[in-house]
Structure 1
Amino acid sequence: MDQARSTISKIFNGEPHSYTRFNLTQNMEGDNSQVEMKLSSDMDRETGGNGVGDHHNYNSNCNPHVAQKIERTPKNLCFMAVATLLIFVIGYLIGYLVHEKKDLVPTCVASKVPFDEVVAVETGAAPLMNWEKVKKLLAEKVSADKLDSVFSEFSSDNHRAGSPGDEALGEKVLNRFKEYGMKTWTDEHFVKVQDPPASGYNTYHYKEKEEHPEGFLSYSANGAVKGQVLYAFFGEEKDFRTLRDHNINMTGKVMLVRAGRISFAEKVANAAKMGAAAVLIYPYPSDSSFGGTTELYGHVHLGSGDPYTPGFPSFNHTQFPPVQSSGLPNILAQTITFDMANSILKELGGPDAPEEWVSSNKLGSRNDVITVNVNNVLREKKITNVFGVFKGFVDPDRYVVIGAQRDACGAGFAASTVGTSVLVELARSISDMVKNDGFKPRRSIVFASWSAGEYGSVGATEWLEGYLSSLSMKAFAYIDLDGVVTGQNYFRVAASPLLHGLIESTLKEVTSLNKAVTLYSEFAKNNLEANVLEPLKLDNAAYPFLAFSGIPSLSFRFTSGNLDYPFFRTMLDTRAKLNLATYSHVPDLAAIATRFAGHMVLRLVHDHLLRMDVMKYSKIISSRVSQINNKFNSVLRVQPHVLPKALTMQWLMSAYGSYSRASSKLASDIQNSNMDDIEMCRILNDRIMTVERNLLSPYTSPRESPFRHILMGSGPHTMQALYSHLEALKLENPEADANLFHNQFALTTWTIQGCANSLAGDVWALDNEV
């Protein structure tokens, strides 16, 4: 048979007497490439047979385009007859052999699955599993008993960032992710952090008494300072303004402030603006079990990530020049215990503290002199972030990220153990749904275990800096699990406005400790913004995702009140203390937190369109523009000479109008689009994803102002800064600068306009008045 096939091949596959030209054309509408074939003999007739045009001369000894005639001699006719007979015989033999082989092939039994049953096909709008079933499955997978066992596995008394304990926990998380069938990887960074001095403590000397607090604040300036102690309540901006209004000079002073309300870094930055030389921070125990000797730990970097690699990642062997974050303080900062602070406060002289501080303390006199010594040690540590992913079935390159910090200064049960346990347990639940229940997420879910969270979201921020160019186009949301259980009386959520609608619907679907009611019924009570929503603060791990990277982010927690959990950043953050704060309901509350986070994640990867409300930002921008306009007109009435004559509010109002129209147009496009069209859904989702990213000011340096979001960030580029600058111009504050305001006004306006342009979609769809 092989010989027969070879003979036939030689007969039909010899050198051609005429050549074929192929013209490949790409169909730009998305169809398969088409092949246009013309025989050269036809082309010769079209061109007159002269070979002019696209043809190439393949053989210089003969013209390939001219078919040679075969003479019909008796000899040739005989050869043709023999060849025809040979072909017939070979064909008969091939047919006979094929028939014999067919008889030897066993016949298949009838399939148990009828052919008329149609298998469901995944499309852009119709999931294989409806949402009600997804909710039910998640509720079945998550339980308090399972979480209780996970707590035991991930509890540790010593897991400071970069330590063997931190690495061991990371390995446990990684092994769990692998066990659940996730694709896993790790991300290493070499970061610089400050640890206590080799002696184990810094010191201060007050009225012939020296103290050695064991707590410390990473990233403080080092050195020794001697100056008057001055009490400044919580160290907020308004507290320092109160002191200034009482004609109290703060230059060179050592400020004594209470912990709470704002971050340690903000307290130190506020004091530095007033010319203070150092800050002492002490806890004010709201819990009787706190103890007067409890030490505080933390950091004072007004930013996130490694402050010695601002704006770029701290990968090993990077060759960036040595720089420092503008958020590093240039004054000393140190924590002291409540007992230490109380002994200082009792001996302070000077004027009484303001009545609004609800305090019987004195502010301090020139005789209340203190000397502070800080000698922290800067060290480089290797930290490891751990990741796992469930890939989506429709848009695998679009993903939601859910993460929790793994490290802590002590046991860190509320700060890190609960969040890590919820992360791992949610990964197990979704893995079970995918493997055993047929759930297929449209988009991918990335699980992240961060290190060095105690130093200011260092692990998370370094990852953002390392992969920002790809994350900004693919990561559409971040959900943070740090500190999700610190009490049980209230439920608080801090998030991007784009997610407020999804938050509300999720609250209505997840039940509370009282199984008869939902979280919405118990906590929101028809007023989500007043009862549940709160600002996303600088020291929240979700903040850099939103304000630095432009990724819609969310953080939530069960809490006992408006005050922070008192045992955060102390060695007392243990399971026993959290049991006291939650009446031993930690596993139950963690299970609810797991379901809440799971509902958010699964809804974002289940629906054909991302559940994000772009109209929400339209309301916020409108409110900010109105505030700035009112303040602008007020300045014109009082101090018209301080503003450039050519400057008007019309430009900013027009930019807002462009965003409003673009967001309305997107809503209209969604209503008029075919949701079964996967590509159409992807285009609409990409337009939604541009909003947060394009509210980052492109005109600011991440080193000087890393949180570039003009609405949720911080710095002179924000709309809040524009309002404050106008107030300073009105009061003719020496620090106010009309030209600088004009420049920031223009850049902020164009940032809003650029966001509107991006939201509108195609360049021909723009509807601008600017």
Structure 2
Amino acid sequence: MDQARSTISKIFNGEPHSYTRFNLTQNMEGDNSQVEMKLSSDVEDEAGGNGVGEHLNHNSNRKPHVAQMFGRTPKNLCFMAAATLLIFIIGYLIGYLAHRKKDSFPSSAASVLPAEAPCVFERGAAPLMDWDDVKKLLAQKLGNFDSVFSDFTKDSHQAGSPGDEELGNKVLKKFKDYGMNTWTDEHFVKIQDPPASGSNRFVFKNEKEQRPSGFLSYSANGTATGAVVYGYYGEESDFTLLQGRSVNLTGKVMLVRAGRISFAEKVANAARRKASAVLIYPDPSDYPFGDNTKLFGHVHLGSGDPYTPGFPSFNHTQFPPVQSSGLPTILAQTITAGMATHILSKLGGQSSPDPWGSYNKLGDESDVITVEVNNVLKEKKINNVFGVIKGFVDADRYVVIGAQRDAWGPGFAASTVGTSVLVELARSISDMVKNDGFKPRRSIVFASWSAGEYGNIGATEWLEGYLPSLSRKAFAYINLDGVVSGQSGFKVAASPLMHSLIESTLKEVMSPNTDVSLFSQYAKGSWEANVLEPMKLDNAAYPFLAFSGIPSLSFRFTASGNTDYQFFGTVLDTRDKLYSITSNQAPQLAVTAARFAGNIVLRLVHDHLLRMDTAKYSKIIRAQVAQINVKVRNVQRMQPQLLPKSLTVQWLMSASGSYNRATRSLAEDIQNSDLHDPTTARFYNLRIMKVEYYFLSQYVSVVETPFRHVIHGRGDHTLSALTEHLALLTSDPERFDETRFRRQLALFTWTLQGAANALNGDVWSIHNTHTYTR
């Protein structure tokens, strides 16, 4: 009878519904910018249900297949009756034969299946391969990277250039050769380049005009004249120290070293002190290259195309004439070490602090310099390149792994190594699926980004273009930029949700040319203290985490002392330089980096339950909320005039408690559930993968405040901004603003409470049983 019902179903319903689908729908006129990625039915209601079959398309307005074939004439009705009778007879015969066949089998399965080998099966579309076998397969597939590096080494591949396009096509061809579904994502972005004719320049003390050939994209244009002030690294603390010495920074031209923080942060710090321009140079004590080496970079304090903040730069998209608040309002320019040394040798004024180096003076009013910047804003077409390995159970859920493809010069460490690791992982995992029986439960999307050097433009524009879909479908991002820049240290920046997975992976992957794990080699007693680092704004994983609410991870082998790779942003970032820095171990380090990233990706698509620790955020939040509570109580007790007792953090503490209870409840529910059932696993995975998204503040504008994450974002809505403002009560009480503090408290409290409510599940699972006291 089952076979008969199947036959009837095929006749009346046509093709059976598929569990998932993957469509690449392009503009019929050939516009690649309108590529649409669908890993499942777009009509799936995320909040309504997570069962395996709940997202199938049932369209009540569509006529049944039979009604389209037959009219309601007597002849057709007779034909339908005869067909139905025939099908019934066939079904009866099939059922009778099946019953006879069944009767001929032994009545007990025990007579044909030995007791010591019970039948174990996977209740899903993909058999679960043993995790140890998965790890071994990946390790066997990854080979030497020397030849792979050669495939993607190019002297010139700046974003939007023919070299960038050539490399993109090469990556795309590789993905196709591996049998992957591929597509491209086209954007038209505004990029600022140095002047095509003429140059940027400066004149110091009426001396000979200097024309530096390095530049900083997205600087303000124009001319500024002012006295030079030496500002060390241009950090906030450096400018505070200068002002503490009564050095007036208004209208000054700040001369600062490269390093420690991004170019954009240096310029933003100077602009807040009302400086007129910033000159950035590589100090010889930090950068072991000649006096004439040029520096390249950007000064947009943000991510993506700064002229379409919050909007994707598709050519068919209409957006208002706005620009990012992160664009600087002052001039910025890089100069060589030789130019800076000459200026510093002639400065007068106060002596510089001892930690600031061998230079004796900070500068005075007679050290006048004129700076002129004439950068040109251009619109360029860039292409992101994608390939996907589709999952066998939850194909509409995917992890994204990506690498930057462009560079200012050769960019060997900046982009070549990461692109090589990306392509090798795509080849290895595709081969595992094709030839070794590995069937990932979820999908893996491989992404090659363009315009990374200008502020992660390619990746950010993709996020902006597909944010509604990505926030529901993508559950993690792994960044491969700069994964090999040394060999002495190992650093990871990641969402707290991924910390437990990182720890276990560090213990699984062996350190290059040793018989010990990465954990034993680099953890040194406390892996969190020695391996983890904050995720910075210029990290390509940052917009995934802080803008999109997608758990993200970035890692790197570092040089001695965990310093940054000195050749980033220069034309000296070559294969020879990286091989020299790593004692010719770059290929072996790339293999280890590929295994580390590959193990994390495969674990995320292999297990029934996503390997993410929702309780980690609870620990972090509880610790910081407790500190805020102690601080407020101490001030109210010791200095009641600064904070009235009516200002309470009880609601914040209650929200923290609600989130903690929600994570415990989720863990208990998971513990008591059968995760081998695909419907159950999918239900819990949906709740887990949305945790990061819940921390995006719903009370600020994505256009004005794109990094809405209250823990990792930037802005008044964040927990760090709240604690920094509260610290003013003791350091600078006059700058404390009670109204602003109350607003910050409300923004964070209700975002946290909303996250707790969402994590609880359905609205009827949320119980308002808290007692609020003052």
The alpha-carbon deviation at position 632 of structure 1 amounts to 1.7
CA separation of 1:296/1:674 partners in 2, compared to 1, >3 Å: closer, same or farther?
same
Q: Distance in 2 between matches of 1:725 and 1:381?
A: 41
Q: Distance in 1 between matches of 2:644 and 2:630?
A: 17
CA separation of 1:125/1:661 partners in 2, compared to 1, >3 Å: closer, same or farther?
farther
Does residue 315 (structure 1) correspond to residue 322 (structure 2)? The answer is no
Give 1 or 2 for the bigger CA radius of gyration.
Answer: 1
Q: Structure 2 stretches of 5 or more lacking a match?
A: 1-49, 57-71, 74-85, 94-111
The alpha-carbon deviation at position 717 of structure 1 amounts to 0.7
The alpha-carbon deviation at position 636 of structure 1 amounts to 2.1
CA separation of 1:554/1:286 partners in 2, compared to 1, >3 Å: closer, same or farther?
farther
The alpha-carbon deviation at position 580 of structure 1 amounts to 1.0
Does residue 225 (structure 1) correspond to residue 242 (structure 2)? The answer is no
Q: State the Cα deviation string for residues 730-765 of structure 1 (Å, max 9, x = none).
A: 556555422122112111100000111111112222
CA separation of 1:632/1:139 partners in 2, compared to 1, >3 Å: closer, same or farther?
same
Counterparts of residues 89-108 of structure 1 (less than 5 Å): none
Q: State the Cα deviation string for residues 537-559 of structure 1 (Å, max 9, x = none).
A: 11100001001110000000011
Secondary structure at the residue paired with 1:454? coil
Q: Which residue of 1 aligns with 2:161?
A: 163
Secondary structure at the residue paired with 1:513? coil
Q: Which residue of 1 aligns with 2:264?
A: 265
Q: Which residue of 2 aligns with 1:80?
A: none
Of stretches 558-567 and 759-768 in structure 1, the one that deviates more from structure 2 is 759-768
Q: Structure 1 stretches of 5 or more lacking a match?
A: 1-27, 34-57, 60-90, 99-114
Q: Which residue of 2 aligns with 1:199?
A: 197
Secondary structure at the residue paired with 1:508? helix
CA separation of 1:322/1:516 partners in 2, compared to 1, >3 Å: closer, same or farther?
same
The amino acid across from 2:435 in the alignment is N
The alpha-carbon deviation at position 635 of structure 1 amounts to 3.2
Q: Distance in 1 between matches of 2:52 and 2:507?
A: 43
Q: Distance in 1 between matches of 2:325 and 2:319?
A: 17
The question of whether the paired residues in 2 share the 8 Å contact of 1:296 and 1:570 is answered with: yes
Q: Distance in 2 between matches of 1:528 and 1:465?
A: 34
The alpha-carbon deviation at position 469 of structure 1 amounts to 0.6
The question of whether the paired residues in 1 share the 8 Å contact of 2:128 and 2:606 is answered with: no
The question of whether the paired residues in 1 share the 8 Å contact of 2:522 and 2:530 is answered with: yes
The amino acid across from 1:341 in the alignment is A
Does residue 596 (structure 1) correspond to residue 582 (structure 2)? The answer is no
The question of whether the paired residues in 2 share the 8 Å contact of 1:205 and 1:370 is answered with: yes
The amino acid across from 1:351 in the alignment is Q
The alpha-carbon deviation at position 394 of structure 1 amounts to 0.5
The question of whether the paired residues in 2 share the 8 Å contact of 1:125 and 1:607 is answered with: no
Counterparts of residues 350-389 of structure 1 (less than 5 Å): 350-389=349-388
The alpha-carbon deviation at position 240 of structure 1 amounts to 0.9
Q: State the Cα deviation string for residues 462-511 of structure 1 (Å, max 9, x = none).
A: 00000001101110000000000000011111111110100010011111
Secondary structure at the residue paired with 1:211? coil
Q: State the Cα deviation string for residues 36-59 of structure 1 (Å, max 9, x = none).
A: xxxxxxxxxxxxxxxxxxxxxx99
Q: Distance in 2 between matches of 1:337 and 1:29?
A: 61
Q: Distance in 2 between matches of 1:480 and 1:286?
A: 30
Secondary structure at the residue paired with 1:511? coil
Q: Distance in 1 between matches of 2:51 and 2:482?
A: 51
Secondary structure at the residue paired with 1:318? coil
Counterparts of residues 655-674 of structure 1 (less than 5 Å): 655-674=655-674
The alpha-carbon deviation at position 122 of structure 1 amounts to 4.0
The alpha-carbon deviation at position 728 of structure 1 amounts to 2.8
Q: State the Cα deviation string for residues 50-98 of structure 1 (Å, max 9, x = none).
A: xxxxxxxx99xxxxxxxxxxxxxxxxxxxxxxxxxxxxxxx9xx99xx9
Does residue 653 (structure 1) correspond to residue 642 (structure 2)? The answer is no
The amino acid across from 1:466 in the alignment is G
Does residue 325 (structure 1) correspond to residue 316 (structure 2)? The answer is no
Does residue 177 (structure 1) correspond to residue 140 (structure 2)? The answer is no
Q: State the Cα deviation string for residues 370-420 of structure 1 (Å, max 9, x = none).
A: 100001000000000000000000100100000000000100000000000
Q: Distance in 2 between matches of 1:265 and 1:306?
A: 14
Q: Distance in 2 between matches of 1:644 and 1:684?
A: 44
Q: Which residue of 2 aligns with 1:540?
A: 539
Q: Which residue of 1 aligns with 2:563?
A: 563
Q: Distance in 1 between matches of 2:288 and 2:391?
A: 48
Q: Distance in 2 between matches of 1:168 and 1:517?
A: 40
The alpha-carbon deviation at position 29 of structure 1 amounts to 11
The amino acid across from 1:631 in the alignment is K
The question of whether the paired residues in 1 share the 8 Å contact of 2:228 and 2:368 is answered with: yes
Q: State the Cα deviation string for residues 280-318 of structure 1 (Å, max 9, x = none).
A: 111124577511111100000000000000011010032
CA separation of 1:184/1:31 partners in 2, compared to 1, >3 Å: closer, same or farther?
closer
Q: Distance in 1 between matches of 2:322 and 2:618?
A: 38
Q: Distance in 2 between matches of 1:413 and 1:31?
A: 47
The question of whether the paired residues in 2 share the 8 Å contact of 1:216 and 1:298 is answered with: yes
Q: Which residue of 1 aligns with 2:305?
A: 306
Q: Distance in 2 between matches of 1:489 and 1:501?
A: 23
Q: Which residue of 2 aligns with 1:216?
A: 215
Secondary structure at the residue paired with 2:189? strand
Q: Distance in 1 between matches of 2:409 and 2:53?
A: 61
Of stretches 699-708 and 544-553 in structure 1, the one that deviates more from structure 2 is 699-708
Secondary structure at the residue paired with 1:226? strand
The amino acid across from 2:134 in the alignment is V
CA separation of 1:120/1:437 partners in 2, compared to 1, >3 Å: closer, same or farther?
farther
The alpha-carbon deviation at position 766 of structure 1 amounts to 2.0
Q: Distance in 1 between matches of 2:187 and 2:414?
A: 22
The question of whether the paired residues in 1 share the 8 Å contact of 2:408 and 2:570 is answered with: yes
Q: Distance in 2 between matches of 1:715 and 1:367?
A: 38
Q: Which residue of 1 aligns with 2:27?
A: none
CA separation of 1:29/1:262 partners in 2, compared to 1, >3 Å: closer, same or farther?
closer
Secondary structure at the residue paired with 2:453? helix
The alpha-carbon deviation at position 209 of structure 1 amounts to 2.6
Q: Which residue of 2 aligns with 1:38?
A: none
The question of whether the paired residues in 2 share the 8 Å contact of 1:258 and 1:282 is answered with: yes
The amino acid across from 2:215 in the alignment is F
Could you state the TM-score of these two structures normalised by the residue count of structure 1? 0.83
The question of whether the paired residues in 2 share the 8 Å contact of 1:125 and 1:675 is answered with: no
The amino acid across from 1:478 in the alignment is Y
The alpha-carbon deviation at position 319 of structure 1 amounts to 1.6
The alpha-carbon deviation at position 767 of structure 1 amounts to 4.2
Of stretches 685-694 and 482-491 in structure 1, the one that deviates more from structure 2 is 685-694
Q: Distance in 2 between matches of 1:464 and 1:288?
A: 35
The question of whether the paired residues in 2 share the 8 Å contact of 1:214 and 1:295 is answered with: yes
Count of residue correspondences? 667
The question of whether the paired residues in 2 share the 8 Å contact of 1:124 and 1:608 is answered with: no
The alpha-carbon deviation at position 627 of structure 1 amounts to 2.3
The amino acid across from 1:365 in the alignment is D
The amino acid across from 2:710 in the alignment is I
Q: Distance in 2 between matches of 1:692 and 1:29?
A: 22
Q: Distance in 1 between matches of 2:379 and 2:644?
A: 50
The alpha-carbon deviation at position 344 of structure 1 amounts to 0.7
The question of whether the paired residues in 2 share the 8 Å contact of 1:662 and 1:767 is answered with: no
Of stretches 681-690 and 597-606 in structure 1, the one that deviates more from structure 2 is 681-690
Q: Which residue of 1 aligns with 2:34?
A: none
Q: Which residue of 2 aligns with 1:433?
A: 432
The amino acid across from 1:672 in the alignment is N
Q: Which residue of 1 aligns with 2:713?
A: 713
Secondary structure at the residue paired with 1:535? coil
CA separation of 1:271/1:516 partners in 2, compared to 1, >3 Å: closer, same or farther?
same
Q: Which residue of 2 aligns with 1:761?
A: 761
Q: Which residue of 1 aligns with 2:450?
A: 451
Secondary structure at the residue paired with 1:306? coil
The question of whether the paired residues in 1 share the 8 Å contact of 2:618 and 2:660 is answered with: yes
The question of whether the paired residues in 2 share the 8 Å contact of 1:160 and 1:410 is answered with: yes
Q: Which residue of 2 aligns with 1:682?
A: 682
The question of whether the paired residues in 2 share the 8 Å contact of 1:639 and 1:730 is answered with: no
Q: State the Cα deviation string for residues 567-624 of structure 1 (Å, max 9, x = none).
A: 0000000001101110011110001101110000000000000111111101110121
Of stretches 567-576 and 347-356 in structure 1, the one that deviates more from structure 2 is 347-356
The amino acid across from 1:176 in the alignment is K
The question of whether the paired residues in 1 share the 8 Å contact of 2:156 and 2:410 is answered with: yes
The amino acid across from 1:413 in the alignment is F
The question of whether the paired residues in 2 share the 8 Å contact of 1:125 and 1:677 is answered with: no
The alpha-carbon deviation at position 703 of structure 1 amounts to 2.6
The question of whether the paired residues in 1 share the 8 Å contact of 2:351 and 2:360 is answered with: yes
The amino acid across from 2:178 in the alignment is Y
Secondary structure at the residue paired with 1:455? coil
The alpha-carbon deviation at position 642 of structure 1 amounts to 4.1
Counterparts of residues 565-580 of structure 1 (less than 5 Å): 565-580=565-580
Q: Distance in 1 between matches of 2:589 and 2:448?
A: 21
The alpha-carbon deviation at position 640 of structure 1 amounts to 2.9
Counterparts of residues 616-627 of structure 1 (less than 5 Å): 616-627=616-627
